[in-house]
A = this chain, B = another copy of it.
Amino acid sequence: MTHQSRTVLLAGGVGGARLGHGLQAHLGDRLTVVVNTGDDLERHGLLVSPDHDTVMYTLAGIDNPDWGWGIEGETFAAAEMLERYGEEGWFRLGDRDLATHIVRTARVRAGERLTAVCLDLQRALGVRAAILPMTDAPVRTEVLTEDGWLEFQEYFVHRHQAPTVSDLRFSGIDAAAATPEVVEAVAASELLVIAPSNPFVSVRPILAVTGIEAAIQAARARAVPVVAVSGIVGGKAIKGPADRMLVSLGHESSALGVARLYTGVADVFVLDAVDEALAPAVEALGLRTVVTDTIMADDAGRARLASAVLAATSLG
């Protein structure tokens, strides 16, 4: 395993974007990111793909580092006008960001595949890696709460992740197949990485797409290692509701709890130095462990974690 291995990263939003940015610094176009599209939604008649766009903007170097979404220097003139027209304002889209949704929507409506459109958008922004939607078919994550089934962004953004999640489903998943691009990227990979993203609503939808877990298992059968990075550090999610979801869905809110979810799919588990004491229990699950600083506070932190991930399989 070298630092130039063809690598496929399974990613959700911010955590995936940051690790992807670090990996791209090492790998350039030898990196393929497979992004969750279960968070996608239609707003104002436009197809919005939050995880893809967060990864794209981050890998293009135009992300807003303070927000964890959107574009640096973004303006909201259109959003203000949309609100004046009575459109709901809880999911605000910036002016530049709107252009992304407008182009995507127009081209998908005209019959193009989502994957082809996304790759064009990425090229226009100078992204070196390829960022592939997990599927071209519409999949929508929904969470069961005390208020009933909620669309993901209704729960995540509108209700600020306040409701307790007792179950999940991925609407449309039965009709969703892996794209040729995803299958080929996994087949050509020398390393597979699971980002420190939410295991339930970022990683699980990707694995649930018909053909993706099979492709990963085929890669593992030819000795391609799968390295998963914990998004839980010191028992807390770095960002988002993963820690609360672990508990409400019957798991332990710890790196060990995450590791248990990845047995059978991962070979190596990367956990933060603060969780070093959990390493033996993770190893007992049959996962090799790498203990390192997993916090990606800046570009250097992203590249450092990426290095650790790329080196992980040569340490065992």
Within 8 A of B (CB), among A139-165: none
Interface centre among A77, A80, A107 (most CB of B within 10 A): A77
| A120 interfacial by beta-carbon distance below 8 Å | yes
Q: Which of B82, B86, B125 contacts A102 (CB 8 A)?
A: B82
Number of interface residues of A (CB under 8 A): 32
Q: Is the interface of A mostly helix, strand, loop or mixed?
A: helix
Within 8 A of B (CB), among A266-293: none
Asked if B106 and A45 sit within 8 Å, CB to CB, the answer is yes
Find chain B residues with CB under 8 A from A105 CB.
45
A45 to B101, CA, bound (A): 11
| A215 interfacial by beta-carbon distance below 8 Å | no
| A1 interfacial by beta-carbon distance below 8 Å | no
| A218 interfacial by beta-carbon distance below 8 Å | no
A99 to B44, CA, bound (A): 9
Asked if B82 and A99 sit within 8 Å, CB to CB, the answer is yes
| A98 interfacial by beta-carbon distance below 8 Å | yes
Find chain B residues with CB under 8 A from A100 CB.
81, 85
A45 to B120, CA, bound (A): 17
Within 8 A of B (CB), among A47-105: 74-75, 77-82, 84-87, 94-96, 98-100, 102-103, 105
Find chain B residues with CB under 8 A from A106 CB.
44-46
- Shortest A105–chain B CB gap in Å is 6
Q: Interface readout for A226-249 with B: 1 if CB under 8 Å, 0 if not?
A: 000000000000000000000000
| A168 interfacial by beta-carbon distance below 8 Å | no
Instruction: Contacts A96-B81, A109-B45 given; indicate if A87 touches B75 (C-beta within 8 A).
Output: no
| A positions within 8 Å CB-CB of B | 44-46, 74-75, 77-82, 84-87, 94-96, 98-100, 102-103, 105-107, 109-110, 120-121, 124-125
In the A-B complex, list the 6 residue pairs whose CB atoms are closest, starting with the nearest: A45-B106, A81-B99, A77-B95, A81-B96, A95-B95, A78-B99
16 A–B pairs (Cβ distance < 8 Å), ordered by A: A44-B103, A45-B110, A46-B102, A74-B77, A77-B77, A78-B102, A80-B96, A81-B95, A81-B99, A82-B102, A84-B125, A85-B103, A86-B120, A95-B98, A98-B98, A98-B102
